Chains A and B, each alone.
Chain A
Amino acid sequence: MSLLNLSLPELLALFSAVSGLMVTLYLLDRTRRRYTVSSLKFFTVSGHAPEARHRRRIQQPWSLLLQLLSMALLLLAIAQLRFGVRPRDGRRHILVLDTSAWMSAASPQSTPARPRELMDDAKAAARRWLATVPVEDPVMLVRAGATPTPVTPFDTDRDSIRRAIADSRPGAAVFSASRALQFALQTAGQDSAPTAEVVFAGAGRTRREDLPPADNAPSLRMLRVEGPSQHCGLRRVAVRRAPSDPDTWEVLAAARNYGPAPKTVLLAASFGGAVVGTRQLLLQPGSDQTASFTIHARNAGPLQVQLAPDDAFAADHRAVLDLSARSVAEIAVYSDEPDLLRPIFQSIPDVRAAFHPIAAWNGSDATPILVFDRFAPPRPPMANTIWIDPPATGSPAPVVSVAASTTLRRWYSGTQLGAGLRARDVSLANALIFRPAEDDIVVAEADAGPVIIARSTPRKTLVLGFHPLLSDLRYELAGPLLFANAVRWLAPESFRRQELSVSSVGAHDIDLEATLDPASISVASDDRQPVPWTLDGRTLRLFAANPGVIRIGTPDRSLSLSLTLPEPGDVIWSPRKAVYGLPPARLPVRAPRELWYWLALLGGVGLSLEWLLYARGSRRPTPVLSRMPARRASAWKKAS
C-alpha cells in the first residue's frame, strides 16, 4: 500500500487541519441561534423548554463521524492510495526510429507475394523492444530523418507508443545520425532521472559527414535492421539551355554506387517518350560518375533520366523534369520606314518583330512591346513602348526644347538601359530635349539636356529624342546595343536563363551569377509559398525538409529545384560502445491497483448520506406556508 501524491505526514497534517475545521464548523452550526420576534406570546405555548445540554458537546455524533470519515476518504483519494508493489522510479527510454528514405528499400525478407520494407522490420524490432521495457518506464518516440522529430512525450502508455510506431512512414531525406543522437542526449539530460537509455531502431544508413563525432552516448542500444548492401542511384540531374543555341538543352546526370562492389549501370535519357541518349557507366564503390546529354527541342515536354537495372531501392532510379518551351519577346513596330529598323530587331535573339505602317495603327494592338517610329498615337497604349523621335506635341515625356544641332555627351552606363554603351560626341540634328520627372531614368544626355529617358510606371516606356539610325549613331556599336538593352529591360523574362535541377531534400547551396540585391531574388515553393533562405556573398542557401519543387528567380536566371530524389546515405552507423540487440526478457511487473476513484466515490456518498440524514431537514428554513394545512389556512382567511 502506498500513497502517490502525498506523504503520510502530509496526509495526516492535512486531515488534522480539515477535521479540526469540520468539528469547529459543526459546533458553530449547532450553537443556539438568536432571533428578535414581535412577541413571545405564542412561543411560550409552542416551543419546548431548552434541553439541559452543554452547547459544546457533540449532539449528533454519527453525523460528525460520517463527515470525518467521508473527508478522510476524499483526502486518501487526493493522495492517490494504491495497493500493490510500490514501483521504482522508472528509467527513461528514448526510442529513435529511422524514418529516412532508405527505409523504403525492400527488406531481405520481402517476397513478391508479401512485399516488405525495411521500415516494417524496424517497426517490428521497436515493438519487440517495447515489450521488454518495464511498465513503469516512460518511453519517448522520436522519428529521425534529416531532423529528429519527437512524436510522443515520455509516456508509460504503451498503446500510444505502439500506435505512434505503427503510424511511422519512410521520409525523403537521409538519416542524420549526429542530429538524432544529439537530440536524444539533450532530451535525456533534461532532468535528474537515472541515465536514460537511447534506443535506435532502423538501418542507420547515413552520410559520412552526419556520423556522430565520437561514441559519447553512455547508454545506447542499437536495434539495427539489415538492408540490401548493393545499390546504385541517381544523385543529381541538372538541365539548362545551351548558351550558344537557345533551342538546345544540356542535361547533366550524376549517379553513385553506394555498395561495396563495382557495378556497371545503364543511364538513359528520354524526351517526350523518345530516347535521346544512353550511357553505360562503370561505377566504383562509393564514387560518383556523371554523364551528359544534349537535347534539341523547341517545344515543351517531359525529360526522364533513368538508371538500370533496378535493385532493392528503386526510388532514386528515375528523375523526371518538365522542360518548357523557349520564351520569345513579341514586338510590333509601327514605322513607315521598316527597313531602317528591321536589321536591328532581327539581330536580337529571342525577339520576334512584326512591322506595320503607321496608318495601320488602330489602338487595339495587343502585342506586349510596341515601337513607334516618329509617330505618336492619339492615346497612350496599354503596353510597354519604345518611342523613337516622337512629335514634340505627342511625346510621352515633356519636351523642353528642340535642339537643332547638339552633341551626345554622356551615357548613364550604371542603368540597365545604358549598360555597355560607350559612344560619345555623337552629333545630333533636331534632337528633342526632355524634362525628366522624379522617377524617370535618364539614359543619355546631350549638351542641351536629356535626350533618352525611360519611365517604369504605369507601363515601361523608353523615349528617344532622336532617331538613332538617322544620326551618326548608326555607325556606332551603341546603336544596336541600345535597342538590345531596351528589349531586355522591357521583357526581362524572355532573356532569363532557364535551369532545372533534380536533387534531394535537405540543405542546398546555389551559386549565383553575381552579388545580387536580395530584393531582386525570389525563392518560393511550387504552391507559391515563400521558402526561407539566406545570402552569403554569391551563394544562396536554403533548407527544404519535404520533397517538392522550389523556384528561385534572379534578374538573369530562373532555377527550378525539384527535390524529389531520395538520398540513401553512404555509410552504416555502427557505434562501437553501443549494445546491440534486445535486452534480456524480464518478468512483467504488475501495475499497482488504482483506488482513488473508488475512494472519491465513497467520500461523496458519505457526504451525501450525512446531508440527507442530518442536514436537509434541520438546517434549512422550511417553507412554512406550503406546509400549512389547507383547511386551517382557508378558515383563517375567511375571517378577513
Chain B
Amino acid sequence: MSTTPIIDGAFLEKLERLALRWQKSFPGLVGGHNMSRLPGAGQEFLDHRNFHQGDDLRAVNWRAYLRLEKLFLKMFQVEPRVPVRLLLDASASMQLGAVTPKFEFARTLTAALAYVAMIRLDSLCVQPFDASLQESFLCSGGRHRFVHAVNFLTRVAVGGRTDYMAIAREFCSRYEQPGLLIVVSDFFDDSDCLRPLQFLADFGHELLLVHVWAEEDRSPGWEGQLEITDAETGRRLELTFDRESRQRYTEAFEGHARALAGIADRSGGRYVGLSTSTSVEDAVFGPLVRSQSIQ
C-alpha cells in the first residue's frame, strides 16, 4: 500500500463548492441535493392538480378552496438521492504512462469525484473493473465516509485485460436502478467498447465518459523498427514506424475519441478527454467544469 495520500487536503477544500450535475431525472431516495422533475415529497413547489379520493389532506391548498370552493392538491418536487456510480478501469493498460501512470491519475480523479458526490449526499458506488467487475464500494452521502472510499481505492489491484461487453452485462444485471454512470478509463479494448457503452446508455444510465490517456497513447514518439507488446494481452507486433505512421496512428486515436464523444452526446451524456500530463486539479477545474459535468 502506498504511504503517500492519493489526494491532499487542500484539493479537497477546493472541491467543497462543487457538485456533480446530470441532465436526466432519476427516481431515488429523498434527501439528495439535486433537483428532479418528479413529483413527490419534497420542499419545492411543483404544480397543482385536482384532489382525488385518498390523497393526503395535508397537501390540499385550502386558500384555493376558500376562493374557488374546489379542492386542489399541491404537488412538490422530489430531491432524490441519485445513485452515482464510478466505474474505474483497473486493467493492465492503465499501468502505463511515461509521466504519470494512467491508473494513478484515474484513481485520484475517482477519489475527487467520489468526494464531490459524498458532500452532496448522493448515493455513491465505486466499482473497479478489468475483465469483470471487482469488489465495489457502496455508501450514502456524507464526507465522513470519504476515508473509507480512499482506503478502498488504495487497495484496488491493477492488472488483467478489459472486456467492456462483459462488464456492461454484469453492471446492468447488478445495478438495475439507473443513475449517473462515470466511466474513468483509457477505453482500450481489442473488441469494440462503443457498443457496450451504448448498451449502458440505453439501459437508462447517464454516461460521463472520462477518457484518460498518456501522451504516448495518443502519439508515440518512437520511429524505426519496433517490436511492440500489448500490455493486456501480451500479443506482439513487429512493424516499421515512421512519421507518417505516427500521423495515421494519431488520426485513428482521435477517431476513437470522437466516437466515444458521439456515444456520450447521443445518449445525453458527456465526454471528457484528459491527458495524464496535466494535474488532476487542473483536469477537474478545467475540462470537467467546462463540460458542466461538475459545477
A and B co-occur in one complex: yes
- Give A residues with C-beta under 8 Å from B: 30-51, 618-619, 621-625, 628, 632, 635-637, 639-640
A639 CB → nearest B CB, Å: 4
Return the contact of B272 from the options A31, A38, A44, A640 (Cβ within 8 A).
A640
- A636 proximity list for chain B (CB < 8 A): 254, 257-258, 273
0 or 1 for each of B92-127: is its CB under 8 Å from A? (1 = yes): 010010000010000000000000000000000000
CB pair A36 B229 closer than 8 Å? yes
Given the known A-B contacts A48-B239, A50-B225, are A624 and B273 also in contact in the complex, defined by CB atoms under 8 Å? no
With A39-B188, A44-B237 as known contacts, state yes or no: A625 contacts B217, CB within 8 Å. Answer: no
A32, B227: Cβ atoms closer than 8 Å: yes
**Interface check B240, CB cutoff 8 A:** yes
Residues of A within 8 A of B149 (CB): none
CB-CB under 8 A for A639 and B221, given A43-B249, A49-B239: no
Note all chain B residues with C-beta closer than 8 A to A51.
Answer: 225, 240
With beta carbons under 8 angstroms apart, the residue of A37, A46, A625, A637 that contacts B245 is: A46
Across the two chains, which residue of chain B brings its CB closest to A32? Answer: B225
A38 proximity list for chain B (CB < 8 A): 93, 96, 102, 186, 188, 214, 217, 230-232
Give the interface centre of B189, B237, B238, B250 by most chain A CB atoms within 10 Å. B250
Q: Does B190 contact A (CB under 8 A)?
A: yes
User: Contact partner of A37 among B96, B225, B272, CB < 8 A?
Assistant: B96
Residues of A contacting B253 in the complex (Cβ-Cβ under 8 angstroms): 42
Q: How far is the CB of A39 from chain B (nearest CB, A)?
A: 4
Least CB distance, A618 to chain B, in whole angstroms? 6
Let me know if B230 and A640 touch, CB within 8 A. no
Measured CB to CB, the nearest residue on chain B to A37 is B228
- Which chain B residues border A640 with CB–CB below 8 Å? 211, 261, 271-274, 287, 290-291
* Count of B interface residues, CB-CB < 8 Å: 57
Nearest residue, chain A, Cβ from B210: A640
Could you say which residues of chain B place their CB within 8 Å of the CB of A40?
190, 228, 230, 233, 235, 237
Q: List 19 A-B contacts (CB under 8 A).
A: A32-B225, A32-B238, A33-B222, A35-B228, A40-B233, A42-B252, A46-B246, A47-B239, A47-B240, A47-B245, A48-B240, A50-B225, A51-B240, A632-B254, A636-B273, A639-B258, A640-B261, A640-B272, A640-B274
User: Is there an interface contact between B245 and A623, defined as CB atoms closer than 8 Å?
Assistant: no
Known: A30-B225, A37-B216, A625-B219. 13 other contacts (CB 8 A): A34-B227, A37-B231, A38-B96, A39-B93, A40-B228, A43-B239, A43-B249, A50-B225, A618-B224, A622-B246, A623-B221, A624-B219, A640-B274
List B contacts of A48 (CB < 8 A): 239-242, 245
* Nearest 6 interchain pairs by C-beta: A47-B239, A624-B219, A46-B249, A621-B221, A639-B261, A38-B93
Other-chain contact of A622, B186, B221, B230, B237 (Cβ < 8 Å): B221
Contacting pair B223 A618 (CB below 8 A): yes
B residues in contact (CB < 8 Å) with A: 93, 96, 102, 186, 188-190, 211, 214-233, 235, 237-243, 245-254, 256-258, 261, 271-274, 287, 290-291
Which residues of chain A are near B216, meaning CB under 8 Å? 37
Q: From residue B9, how far is it (CB to closest CB) to chain A in Å?
A: 28
Q: Which of A31, A35, A624, A635 contacts B246 (CB 8 A)?
A: A624
CA distance A612 to B242 in the complex (A): 18
Q: How far is the CB of A418 from chain B (nearest CB, A)?
A: 92
A31 partner residues in chain B, CB cutoff 8 A: 225
B220 neighbours in A (Cβ, 8 Å)? 35, 37, 624
Q: Please judge, given known A-B contacts A40-B237, A639-B271, whether A32 and B188 are in contact too, CB under 8 Å.
A: no
User: Which A residues lie within 8 Å of B247 (CB)?
Assistant: 46
The complex places the Cα of A640 from the Cα of B291 at a distance, in Å, of: 7
Residues from chain A with a CB closer than 8 A to the CB of B257 are 636, 639
Residue of A nearest to B191 (CB): A41
Contact A37 B229 (CB under 8 A): yes
- The residue in chain A whose Cβ has the minimal distance to the Cβ of B238 is A50
CB-CB under 8 A from B242, the residues of chain A are 48
The interface residues of chain B lying within 8 Å CB-to-CB of A39 are: 93, 188-190, 230-232
Taking CB atoms, residues of chain B closer than 8 Å to A628 are 219, 250
Once the chains bind, are B252 and A46 in contact (CB under 8 Å)? yes
Expressed in whole angstroms, the minimum distance between the Cβ of A71 and any Cβ of chain B is: 23
Chain A residues contacting B245 (CB-CB under 8 Å) are: 46-48
